[in-house]
Amino acid sequence: MKKILKLVTLSILILGLVFAVGCGGEKAATDEGAVYKVGTDAAYAPFESVAPSGEIEGFDIDIMKAVAAAEGFEVEFINTAWEGIFSSLNGKNDIVISAVTITDDRKKEMDFSEPYFESTNYIAVPQDSAIAAMEDLKGKVVSVQEGTTGDEALTEFLGKDYKDIKRFKGTPEAFLELRNKKADAAVADSGVVGNYVKNNPDANLKIVKDENFPKEFYGIAVTKGNAELLAKVNSGLQKIKDNGEYDKVYSKWFSE
Ligand code: ARG
């Protein structure tokens, strides 16, 4: 009797094991249950920021979640400093979504999805500032997040040796410099400047636009050579553009 009981228990155990392994295999094959690490510099509202709850939120975050849901994979967001965010794709993160502009230089280092958002750079200045164009930045102190396309554009326009481009690790610090009157202007992506000026009325800032800042497109980046993941991201992006999910996320974060 005891022997039989033992045998039955053992069979159940083995059955369970076989079942679990079987499921695991199936999951890997369809990618269901795969968890990809997504790096984002979550100090760039409304694209990515840390909510009071501690959770990372924003337009990019919702887009990434929708893409993952459409393709049946999971994502875990990792708050990653902008400096080094691209090299985080060599082992630390599988994906980077961080309002990253697709550029030829960056394409050498990583692979980009199809563009998912159009952007440019705007200048934020005090409401009473005489700065009305990029040209007027000559001789002025300008703050910007280091290593962004805004930094590149300013460096190109004002010159490599221009002393008064103040480069910060994060965009919030660049805005703070402007608010503290230690900079005459701050440059960042259009959506971010728009969001900041609107949500900080006490800062008394206004937006200056200049078409000398080129049109840019954001892409979702994956580790160079990860064609399989890139294909999934592109397929997911297409699906959410087709089924209206993209538009829903867009109106949630850019209401007017
Ligand atoms: N679009 C700009 C670039 O790619 C700025 C992006 C900054 N993103 C961020 N999360 N801080 O250079």
Map residue 140 onto helix, strand or coil.
coil
Largest Cα span, the chain = 95
170-196 burial: b if 16+ Cβ within 10 Å, else e:
bbbbbbbbbbeeebbbbbbbbbbbbbb
**How do the pLDDT tens digits run along the chain, 256 residues long?**
556 556 555 565 445 544 554 444 333 444 566 899 999 999 999 999 999 999 999 999 999 999 999 999 999 999 999 999 999 999 999 999 999 999 999 999 999 999 999 999 999 999 999 999 999 999 999 999 999 999 999 999 999 999 999 999 999 999 999 999 999 999 999 999 999 999 999 999 999 999 999 999 999 999 999 999 999 999 999 999 999 999 999 999 998 6
Q: How far is it, in rounded angstroms, from Cα 213 to Cα 197?
A: 19
Instruction: Give residue 2 CA to ligand 1 midpoint distance, Å.
Output: 68
For 174, the enclosing helix (H) or strand (E) is helix 171-179
- Give the pLDDT confidence score for residue 34 in this predicted structure: 82
Which of 40, 44, 49, 112 to probe ligand 1 with, by most ligand atoms within 8 A of CB? 44
Ligand 1 centroid vs 146 CA: distance in angstroms? Answer: 9
For residue 215, report the distance from its CA to the centre of ligand 1, in Å.
14
SS3 of 47, please? coil
User: What residues are paired with 13 via a beta bridge?
Assistant: none
Domains, in order of start, for the chain: 35-118+216-254 (3.40.190.10), 121-208 (3.40.190.10)
Q: What is the pTM of this model?
A: 0.88
Pocket test for ligand 1, best of 106, 148, 187 (most atoms within 8 A of CB): 148
Atom of ligand 1 nearest to the CA of 100: 4
Residue 31 Cα to ligand 1 midpoint, Å, equals: 30
**pLDDT at 22 (0 to 100):** 45
pLDDT score recorded for residue 7: 55
Lining residues, ligand 1, CB within 6 Å: 41, 44, 48, 82, 98-101, 145, 148-149, 171, 189
Rg, the chain, Cα only: 23
**pLDDT confidence of residue 3:** 63
Ligand 1 atom nearest to 171, measured from its CA: 11
Report residue 205: phi and psi, to 5°.
-110, 160
pLDDT at 27: 37
Query: Is the CB of residue 178 less than 8 Å from the CB of residue 186?
Result: yes
Determine contact, residues 56/17, Cβ cutoff 8 Å: no
Within 8 A by CB and 6+ apart from 170, the residues are 41, 43, 81, 82, 145
User: Which ligand 1 atom is at minimum distance from the Cα of 106?
Assistant: 4
Residue 113 CA to residue 222 CA, distance in Å, equals 8
The Cα 218–Cα 207 span in angstroms is 21
